[in-house]
Homo-oligomer: A and B are copies of this chain.
Amino acid sequence: MSNEVEVKKADFFEVIRERHSFRSYDPSYKMSEEEIRSLLEDAILSPSSSNLQPWRFLVIQDQASKEKLLPIANNQQQVVQASIVVAVLADLEGFKQAELIYGRTVDNGYMPEEMVKAYTARLAGFYGEQPERYHNTALIDGGLISMQLMLAAKARGLDTVPMGGYDADKFVEAFNVPANLKPVMLIPVGKAVGEARKSVRLSVDEVTTWESF
């Protein structure tokens, strides 16, 4: 339907319960560019530390690119079967975007210019002197957006699998990934076929401590 974006609805609690990691996809299903963009629009609503948005996407869609990725991803067929593979990358120099991002915040009247100047200077001082301080923050923010992307896919009736099992060095080389962008994970997105492998979870009691250790 032409107005799919406007009418789409999905129950949140169903989405989180039905999202599983699928490893087989219908290769004939192709997401439109509009659908891909809409998915990414949803993903970028996720929050980030100091709103620096250090996430970058490499969207791999062409058959030739997927074939290039296949051996790098240990020949896991989902990377060629899925409609797209989104490589989520963390910009380890994301703090350098502060002036651009906060400038727009001022332009929109969301923050006074003086506050933005002080904030930008503070970030530049903190990270500029020791850029490695930003490393973990960028990875965590990469995790945040990856989760939102996977849920947003499920809410559209699509499936995903978060992949860490690939050769990151070879990936960077094959796709000319700039040195400041660190791969967080690969996320194939498409129409799953068959069943997800069932998995277990540690209980809430096993992972929760109350008040203090």
- A residues touching B (Cβ–Cβ < 8 Å)? 8-13, 15-17, 19, 21, 37, 40-42, 44-47, 49-51, 53, 55-62, 65, 97, 100-101, 104-105, 108, 110-111, 136-137, 139-148, 150-152, 155, 162, 164, 175-178, 184-185, 197-202, 204, 207-213
Contacts and interface: CB of A to CB of B under 8 A. Distances in A.
The 9 closest A-B pairs by CB, nearest first: A143-B143, A147-B147, A176-B213, A12-B155, A140-B143, A110-B198, A10-B12, A144-B147, A104-B200
Number of copies: 2
Contact of A59 (B37, B49, B104, B208): B208
A3 to B, nearest CB: 14
Contacts of A111: 197
B155 A211 contact: no
B53 A207 contact: yes
A175 B209 CA distance: 11
B201 A44 contact: yes
A147 B140 CA distance: 10
Given A141-B143, A146-B147, 18 more contacts: A9-B13, A11-B11, A12-B155, A16-B152, A19-B47, A37-B204, A51-B199, A59-B210, A60-B211, A108-B198, A110-B197, A137-B164, A140-B142, A140-B184, A144-B147, A176-B213, A177-B213, A178-B213
